[in-house]
Structure 1
Amino acid sequence: MAPTTGRAVQPITSRSVVEQSTDELRRAILAGTLAPGSEYSLRELAGMLAVSFIPIREALRSLESEGLVITRPGRSVLIAPLDLEDLHGIYRLRRVVEPEIARRSCLLLSDADLERLQGQAAGFGEVGQGMEDIYDGHHDFHLALLSPAASTWDLRMLITLWRAAERYIRIGFGQLDPDPVEHERRGRAHLDLVAAFRTREPDVVADAIEQHLARNEQIAQAALAEQPAR
């Protein structure tokens, strides 16, 4: 048998198209390019991404499990509307999960970890940094705070909840971006989280996380209340 060089087969090509389709549709939904409450046919979505119906169907199954779309009978899909009750449900679950993990994580993070996170938190307060500019870093910041104590299932739950909350957060904080005072507050809020973790006191840390979540929900609720009904 002749020796083989490199990879003999490429079995994940179709799956890669599904993953790319899922990622691009998710990005468009979270950014609001595919607006909440709007409806699209599978043909339209396939045309936008220049792919066949098959990867679109697979992508929509994943996005429906994340609460981002609602499939319709036939060949159409509704981009999940924004809803105050859903928002409250997301944050109710976050207030159960995140403080508990934070209680344990504060005892596991190193001083070097916290020093790095403090520098990152300070950057969130720069006036030129809008929510769109910092969102990926903001996600990474919170993941770094919690991941030392998070199991694989914890991380799956957190990422699902964060994705569900992302559209609300982008709208809420996006409306506040023109105000320089908001940038300062945003940076201070995240520096306060790092300071709480530096105490290594689980009760202090859990309370800080709960207050942070309450503030974010309040901002998102106020923004959602101003959105026109669809």
Structure 2
Amino acid sequence: MTDRPPSPLLEKLVVVRNGGPQQTVVTELRRVILRGDAPPGTPVPLTEVAELFGVSHIPVREALKTLISEGLVTHRPNSGYAVARMTKQELHEMYVVRAALEGAALTIAAEKATDYERAVAMEANDRMAQAIRDSDGAAFQRESRNFHMALVRPSGMHRLLHILDMSWNMIEPVQAMMHVTPDDRAKLNGDHEEMLEAFLARDTARLSAIAQRHNDSVDVAIGTLPTDTGLLTQDS
């Protein structure tokens, strides 16, 4: 039997002790997956990960169970573990979920936001604008999440925010904003600018309307993502 090539995941992992063995492994695997350093479909070799961290299979297996429950890793008996892949339809569904959760919190957040929280949103918007100027899709992906979370965090709806954070995590491995066109990124960032203006003005009706338009634009943009690169699986 031909040996499998080493997983590129191993090159990205950094061994930094963070609590017990299981917590150390799950934290680092999650970090690498969410940064997009291990694209969907990347193998997660249990034995090699255990050797890298100097632990037995048990904490690695438990860490992988946690990541499976978060939708970040899949397991097949004959294939082992891998970074989870979605179909285009599943990706669309996760964006629908994200938009619904965000919409439920936006109005309350805009009404309750403190000066500090408003400043956090402005700073995230500035970083997105810089990413557009730099044509940096990875930075735009990262700062887009920071911006959207900054707009809803003032709501104080902690359970909703936790679920929203998990829904963001599930779509992060795709790094969709890296794969849409620069024109699409610029258009989406224009929506962000308008959302920020409405948020700062506490104009909740306008904020909700712009957010809906933005979500429609995101849906169109992700609809252009290729399905023949391994990034997404074919719809069944």
| The two structures share one fold, judged by TM-score above 0.5 | yes
Structure 2: 5+ residue stretches without partners: 1-16
Instruction: Tell me what 1:158 maps to.
Output: 164
Residues 82 and 224 in structure 1, CA contact (< 8 A), matched pair in contact too: no
Question: How many Å separate the matches in 1 of 2:156 and 2:122?
Answer: 21
Structure 1 or 2, whichever has the larger Rg, is: 1
Question: How many Å separate the matches in 2 of 1:156 and 1:39?
Answer: 27
Amino acid at match of 2:109: S
Give CA-to-partner distance per residue, 1:173-210, whole Å, 9 cap, x none. 21347x4x566445433221111213423332222222
From 27, 30, 43, give the equivalent of 2:31.
27
Deviation of 1:105 (Å): 1.0
**Residue 219 (structure 1) aligned with residue 221 (structure 2):** yes
Amino acid at match of 1:204: R
Structure 1: 5+ residue stretches without partners: 1-12
Q: CA RMSD in A?
A: 2.9
Question: How many Å separate the matches in 2 of 1:49 and 1:153?
Answer: 33
Q: Secondary structure at the match of 2:111?
A: coil
**Residue 200 (structure 1) aligned with residue 206 (structure 2):** no
Q: How many residues are aligned here?
A: 214
Amino acid at match of 1:218: V
Q: 1:16 to 1:73 in 2, by over 3 A?
A: same
Amino acid at match of 1:188: G
Question: How many Å separate the matches in 1 of 2:192 and 2:24?
Answer: 32
Question: How many Å separate the matches in 1 of 2:102 and 2:18?
Answer: 36
Q: Secondary structure at the match of 1:107?
A: helix
Amino acid at match of 1:130: D
Instruction: Tell me what 1:131 maps to.
Output: 137
Question: How many Å separate the matches in 1 of 2:83 and 2:116?
Answer: 42
Question: How many Å separate the matches in 2 of 1:90 and 1:79?
Answer: 17
Residues 71 and 84 in structure 2, CA contact (< 8 A), matched pair in contact too: yes
Question: How many Å separate the matches in 2 of 1:56 and 1:79?
Answer: 14
TM-score under structure 1 length normalisation: 0.77
Deviation of 1:90 (Å): 0.7
From 76, 80, 83, give the equivalent of 2:80.
76
Question: How many Å separate the matches in 1 of 2:180 and 2:95?
Answer: 20
Percent identical residues: 23
Deviation of 1:130 (Å): 1.6
Instruction: Tell me what 1:144 maps to.
Output: 150
Residues 50 and 57 in structure 2, CA contact (< 8 A), matched pair in contact too: yes
Residues 67 and 164 in structure 1, CA contact (< 8 A), matched pair in contact too: yes
